[in-house]
Amino acid sequence: MGHEIPDRIKVLWFLPTHGDSRYLGTSEGGRAVDLPYLTQVAQAADTLGY
C-alpha cells in the first residue's frame, strides 16, 4: 500500500474556560474555573510537550 506514517502527530488542546467536567454542555461533576487552575492546565500541557 505504501502509506507513510508521520513521525509526529499534531495534538490540539484548549483551556477549559467554561468549566471542566466529564460531560460537554453541563456542569455536572464540573470544576470551577479560575486563573490559578487555567495556569496549572497550561503549565501541565507545556511540560508534557504540547
In this predicted model, which residue has the larger pLDDT, 1 or 8? Answer: 8
Beta-sheet strands, E only, within 1-50: none
Tell me the average pLDDT across 32-48. Answer: 89
**Does 13 have pLDDT greater than 90?**
no
pLDDT exceeds 70 at position 1: no
The pTM of this model reads 0.57
Residue 23 has pLDDT above 80, yes or no: no
Task: Please give the distance of CA 33 from its chain centroid, rounded to a whole number.
Answer: 14
Task: Examine the pLDDT at 35 and tell me if it is beyond 80.
Answer: yes
Q: How far apart are CA 48 and CA 20, in angstroms?
A: 19
The three cell numbers locating residue 31:
470544576
